[in-house]
Structure 1
Amino acid sequence: MSGRTPERLAFLTERPFAHRGLHGARVSENGMAAFDAAIAGGFGIECDVRLSRDGVPVVFHDAVLDRMTAAAGPIAERSAAELEGVTLPDGGGVPRLSTLLERCAGGTPLLIEIKIDRWREAAPLCAGVAQALARHGGGAAAVMSFDPVAMRWFARHAPDVVRGMVVTQQGKRKLRGRIERALALALARPDFIACDIRDLPSPFAARCRGKGLPVLTWTVRDAADRARAAAHADQIIFERADD
């Protein structure tokens, strides 16, 4: 474990996290304008990270550029410099993780979701993220992923980095799903859980809280979600209702 003490993990529950930054109709998700808006609002930030062709962690959710830009094709086929020149709808480029870490250096908590589509992507992306965190002093930052292999990498190679498992029980409530979650926990040895708001209340989340793992929940969008989260989780990852 990476020192699962209340003090070390306190940043996970101190304030809500803006999902992909505080984005909306005129502010693009995972762009610097959205991150700056979250910082100005006093929120933490949740972001998604993938690896560029030249091995640089960049902040982007999808494996391909098509949905969020006028460009097309895989993120992995472009260099970080090329991606910085690809324009998001609000006019910003695709940021490097190092740029976001610098912006959060004033104390803004950061959740970095490792996005992996194939198992061979895990080690190079995790190594790149760990190096970026080390260069910027770590700070109030954590990594998390749906993929337990990624979190296992951090457990072995960068155990001081706070790590979490992202979990959804949608379509996985039967025995096979329960076994998968148990195996993922054993493999990843996480410091916290980020669970789907649609799953709450959840015996799985309750057991995790009982073991001392903070439970964050995503993606909270309305008053009903907030009430459910207040009763069954320790902090929220949210989007504004007008997004």
Structure 2
Amino acid sequence: MTALPQDFCRLPIAHRAYHDLAQGRPENSREAIAAAIAAGYGIEIDLQLSSDGEAMVFHDYTLDRVTGEAGDVDARSAAALAAIPLSGGKAGIPTFAEVLAQVAGQVPLLVELKDQDGRAAHAPGTLEARAAQLVEGYEGPLAFMSFNPRMVGRMAELAPAWPRGLTTCAYEGEHFAHLSAEEKAYMQALGAVEPTGSSFVSHEWKDLTRDSVQALRARGLPVFCWTIRTAEEEAEARRHADNVTFEHYPAALPA
């Protein structure tokens, strides 16, 4: 297990960077990243693959919700994606390399690898390999995480010097109906934490009181949570978590 820098627990983490469409800062945009750095927040971003295997900073599998284009992200080249403006902003979709250069170690950077294993465009491990390549020589607090334990395990092999963690939740509802009873129990027990060498978990905030989550915290493993949207939610979440991932309000910075 690679130790997590203390600033990941000290500074609130801006979800998809410090985005605010009313201020011209779309999620996962250069503008939102600049605003988070200026405010002194940590930053969470998401990675997807382009058709030519570049790591792009973008949350969804499709372009429709946050751009004026439609279709799969991994059906477009990095150059084509970079030319697509994010709705409400001026700049195109950034590459991970561009964001690394922009952040340059000024604040903690929490990088979520979006699950690629069920997609046909690239072989499993392609995103992990590219992300690991890009962070070689990076200086500053950075950590990787994913909902997919296999991807976290691959990062342990490809980039062992960087902390890694699991993005986790209650594993309830239609989205997890495909899980067998045994698989669901394993995920709810956070059984993948030790096999992946995870240094932290980022858990669904409304499920923070789950015994398995609090047992990890009692052992000293940092517990983050997602996604906090009001100061009142933050106050409640901090009773059970070491830090928050937030959006839509200015989280309080430490004195």
Q: Which runs of 4+ in 1 moved over 6 A?
A: 172-175
| Cα pair 1:21 1:29 within 8 Å, conserved | yes
Q: What residue in structure 1 maps to residue 95 of structure 2?
A: 96
Q: Secondary structure at the match of 2:56?
A: strand
- 1:175-227 alpha-carbon deviations (Å, 9 max, x no partner): 75332244322432211000011112221221111222111111011133111
Distance 1:203 1:121 in 2: 36
**C-alpha RMSD over aligned residues:** 2.0
Which sections of structure 2, spanning at least 5 residues, go unmatched? 251-255
Code of the residue aligned with 1:20 in structure 2: it is R
The answer to whether the aligner puts 1:155 opposite 2:156 as a matched pair is yes
Higher helix proportion: 1
Q: What residue in structure 1 maps to residue 191 of structure 2?
A: 183
Distance 1:150 1:138 in 2: 23
Change in Cα spacing, 1:207 to 1:122, as seen in structure 2 (3 Å) is: farther
User: What is the aligned counterpart of 1:129 among 123, 131, 135?
Assistant: 131
Distance 2:5 2:40 in 1: 18
Q: What residue in structure 1 maps to residue 8 of structure 2?
A: 12
Q: Secondary structure at the match of 2:144?
A: strand
Distance 1:122 1:197 in 2: 29
Alignment of 1:1-243 (within 5 A): 1-2=1-2, 4=3, 8-26=4-22, 27-89=25-87, 90-119=89-118, 121-135=123-137, 137-171=138-172, 177-181=184-188, 182-241=190-249
- 1:16-75 alpha-carbon deviations (Å, 9 max, x no partner): 010001112332111111111111111010000011111110100001111111111111
Please state how far the C-alpha of 1:169 moved relative to its aligned partner. Answer: 0.6
| Cα pair 1:49 1:57 within 8 Å, conserved | yes
TM-score (normalised: structure 1): 0.90
Q: Secondary structure at the match of 1:108?
A: coil
Q: Secondary structure at the match of 1:198?
A: helix
Count of aligned pairs: 237
| Cα pair 1:216 1:234 within 8 Å, conserved | yes
| Cα pair 1:116 1:122 within 8 Å, conserved | no
| Cα pair 2:44 2:109 within 8 Å, conserved | yes
Distance 2:76 2:90 in 1: 19
Distance 2:183 2:241 in 1: 24
TM-score (normalised: structure 2): 0.86
Which sections of structure 1, spanning at least 5 residues, go unmatched? none
Please state how far the C-alpha of 1:157 moved relative to its aligned partner. Answer: 2.4
Please state how far the C-alpha of 1:128 moved relative to its aligned partner. Answer: 0.6
Distance 1:34 1:197 in 2: 23
Distance 2:111 2:124 in 1: 14
